[in-house]
C-alpha cells in the first residue's frame, strides 16, 4: 500500500488537530475524507484541508476510497462508527474512551472477535509519551526491584464546565490506562476521596479528588486530580520500587533567570504537554495499519479502562472501596 487513505469522523477540536498532524507532519498516511453530524461545519473543514465531505459517517467508512478510519466524535457516538469500521473490515483508531459505558465497550470487543481480526486501537496516547516509555523500560529492566507504590498527579490550570464525575471519567481515565500498562497488571479495588475543595471550583464541582487504586498483586497507587490548580498543566508519576524511586521526566524547557529569580516554564495544557505522544501514537498507527499488525491499546484495554472508571465513579458516589470485577480476557486478546 502506497499511502494509507484515512477517513475521519468528528471534525471537532481533536479531529482537526489529527487532520493537521497526519497531513502536515506525519508520513505514510493521509486524511482524504471527513464526516460530522454538523455537515455545514464538516464542509468548511473539508474545504480548508482539501478533503471529501460526507454527511453520514457510515457512508464514508464503507467507501472503497478509504483504507482506515479515525473516530473523534463525542463519546456516545464512538460505538456506532467503530462497529461500522469493524463491519467494513477496516482498521479504526478511536479516541478515548472507546465508549462511555463498559457494556458498549464489550459489544465492540464481541464484534471484533466475531470479525476475527484485530482492527481497533484506542487513543490512550500516554503510552506513547517518551517519558512514560522510559519508565516502562526502567521497570522492565528489573534493576530496581519490584514496584510497590505509585504517587501520581494530574493537574489542569482550569476547566470551565467541568463536573465532579469528569475527574475520574475524563481526566484520571488516562492514569487508569497508562498505570495498568506500566505495571502490566489489572486493578483489584478503587476508592475516591475528596480533600478540602478549592475556592476556584465552579458550582457543585468537588476539586481536587484523590483516587486510590490497588492492583491484583497489592501495589498501592494514589492519583490526585486537581483541575483548577491555577498554575499550569502538570503531570506527575513517581514509582517507588524496592531499590529506587523512578520519576516521570518533565518536557525540557530552558531555565530563565530574570527579576532576581530563576524559572523554568511548564506547559499550559494537555495538547502542548503531550504533542510528542500524539505524533508518535498516530505515526505508529499508520505504520502498523500498513504492515497489517496493530500493537497499541486495543478494544480490550478500552473495556478494562471503562470498567475501572465506572467502579471508581461508584466508589466516589458511595464513598466506599469498590472491587473491580472484570470478565476474563478472551483468548483473542492474549499475546
Ligand X SMILES: NC(=O)c1ccc[n+]([C@@H]2O[C@H](COP(=O)([O-])OP(=O)(O)OC[C@H]3O[C@@H](n4cnc5c(N)ncnc54)[C@H](O)[C@@H]3O)[C@@H](O)[C@H]2O)c1
Nearest to 226 by CA among 200, 247, 203, 189: 200
Nearer to ligand X, 30 or 174 (CB): 174
Q: Single out the residue of 6, 7, 11, 155 in contact with ligand X (rule: CB under 6 A).
A: 11
Count other C-beta atoms under 10 Å from residue 72's C-beta. 24
Within residues 240-299, the interface with ligand X by CB under 6 A covers: 270
| Alpha-carbon torsion (272, 273, 274, 276), positive or negative | positive
- Write the interaction track for ligand X spanning residues 204-243; mark x where CB under 6 A is met and - where it is not: ----------------------------------------
* Alpha-carbon span 302 to 211, nearest angstrom: 19
Nearer to ligand X, 30 or 154 (CB): 154
Q: Is 317 helix (H, G, I), strand (E, B) or coil?
A: helix
User: What values do phi and psi take at 251, rounded to 5?
Assistant: -60, 140
- Answer yes or no: are the C-beta atoms of 78 and 99 closer than 8 Å: yes
Q: Is residue 309 within the footprint of ligand X (CB under 6 A)?
A: no
Size of the site for ligand X (CB under 6 A): 21
Give the CA count within 13 Å in the CB-facing half-sphere of 133. Answer: 11
Q: Is residue 19 within the footprint of ligand X (CB under 6 A)?
A: no
Nearer to ligand X, 95 or 301 (CB): 95
Stretch that binds ligand X, among 32-40, 138-146, 156-164, 317-325 (CB under 6 A): 32-40
| DSSP-based helix, strand, coil % in the chain, nearest 5 | 40, 25, 35
Within residues 122-151, the interface with ligand X by CB under 6 A covers: 123, 125
How far lies 137's CA from each of 146, 182, 262, in Å? Answer: 13, 9, 32
Stretch that binds ligand X, among 10-18, 217-225, 238-246, 298-306 (CB under 6 A): 10-18
Q: Is residue 95 within the footprint of ligand X (CB under 6 A)?
A: yes
* Alpha-carbon span 324 to 335, nearest angstrom: 23
- Answer yes or no: are the C-beta atoms of 273 and 169 closer than 8 Å: no
Min dist CB 56 to ligand X, Å, is 9
Number of residue whose CB is nearest ligand X: 12
Stretch that binds ligand X, among 19-27, 70-78, 231-239, 282-290 (CB under 6 A): 70-78
Q: Single out the residue of 5, 12, 234, 288 in contact with ligand X (rule: CB under 6 A).
A: 12
Nearer to ligand X, 139 or 152 (CB): 152
Min dist CB 97 to ligand X, Å, is 7
Q: Single out the residue of 4, 8, 10, 289 in contact with ligand X (rule: CB under 6 A).
A: 10
Q: Is residue 100 within the footprint of ligand X (CB under 6 A)?
A: no
Stretch that binds ligand X, among 3-11, 18-26, 105-113, 160-168 (CB under 6 A): 3-11
- Answer yes or no: are the C-beta atoms of 28 and 3 closer than 8 Å: yes
* Alpha-carbon span 98 to 75, nearest angstrom: 8
Stretch that binds ligand X, among 74-82, 175-183, 184-192, 210-218 (CB under 6 A): 74-82
- Answer yes or no: are the C-beta atoms of 248 and 135 closer than 8 Å: yes
* DSSP per-residue string spanning 1-38: --SEEEEEE--SHHHHHHHHIIIII-SSEEEEEEE-SS
Q: Which residues bind ligand X (CB under 6 A)?
A: 9-15, 36-38, 57, 72-75, 77, 95-96, 123, 125, 270
Amino acid at each position: 500500500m502506497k499511502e494509507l487513505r484515512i477517513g475521519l469522523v468528528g471534525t471537532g477540536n481533536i479531529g482537526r488537530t489529527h487532520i493537521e498532524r497526519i497531513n502536515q507532519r506525519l508520513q505514510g498516511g493521509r486524511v482524504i475524507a471527513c464526516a460530522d453530524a454538523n455537515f455545514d461545519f464538516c464542509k468548511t473543514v473539508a474545504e480548508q484541508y482539501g478533503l471529501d465531505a460526507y454527511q453520514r459517517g457510515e457512508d464514508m467508512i464503507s467507501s472503497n476510497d478509504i483504507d482506515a478510519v479515525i473516530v473523534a466524535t463525542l463519546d456516545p457516538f464512538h460505538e456506532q462508527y467503530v462497529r461500522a469500521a469493524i463491519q467494513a473490515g477496516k482498521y479504526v483508531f478511536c479516541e478515548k474512551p472507546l465508549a462511555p459505558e463498559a457494556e458498549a465497550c464489550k459489544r465492540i470487543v464481541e464484534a471484533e472477535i466475531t470479525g476475527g481480526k484485530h482492527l481497533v486501537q484506542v487513543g490512550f496516547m500516554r503510552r506513547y509519551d517518551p517519558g512514560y516509555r522510559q519508565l516502562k523500560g526502567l521497570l522492565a529492566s528489573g534493576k530496581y526491584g519490584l514496584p510497590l507504590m505509585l504517587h501520581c498527579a494530574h493537574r489542569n490550570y482550569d476547566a470551565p464546565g467541568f463536573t465532579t464525575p469528569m475527574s475520574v471519567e475524563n481526566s484520571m481515565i488516562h492514569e487508569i490506562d497508562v498505570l495498568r500498562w506500566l505495571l502490566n497488571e489489572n486493578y483489584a479495588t478503587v476508592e475516591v476521596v475528596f480533600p478540602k475543595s478549592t475556592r476556584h471550583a465552579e458550582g457543585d464541582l468537588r476539586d481536587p479528588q484523590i483516587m486510590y487504586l490497588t492492583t491484583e498483586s497489592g501495589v498501592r497507587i494514589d492519583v490526585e486530580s486537581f483541575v483548577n490548580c491555577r498554575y499550569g498543566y502538570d503531570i506527575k508519576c513517581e514509582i517507588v520500587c524496592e531499590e529506587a524511586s523512578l520519576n516521570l521526566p518533565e518536557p525540557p524547557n530552558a531555565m530563565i533567570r530574570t527579576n532576581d529569580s530563576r524559572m523554568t516554564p511548564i506547559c499550559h495544557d494537555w495538547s502542548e504537554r503531550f504533542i510528542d505522544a500524539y505524533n508518535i501514537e498516530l505515526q505508529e498507527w499508520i505504520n502498523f495499519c500498513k504492515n497489517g499488525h496493530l500493537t497499541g491499546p486495543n478494544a480490550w484495554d478500552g473495556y478494562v479502562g471503562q470498567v475501572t472508571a465506572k467502579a471508581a465513579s461508584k466508589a466516589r458516589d458511595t464513598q466506599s472501596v469498590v472491587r473491580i470485577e472484570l470478565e476474563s480476557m478472551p483468548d483473542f486478546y492474549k499475546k
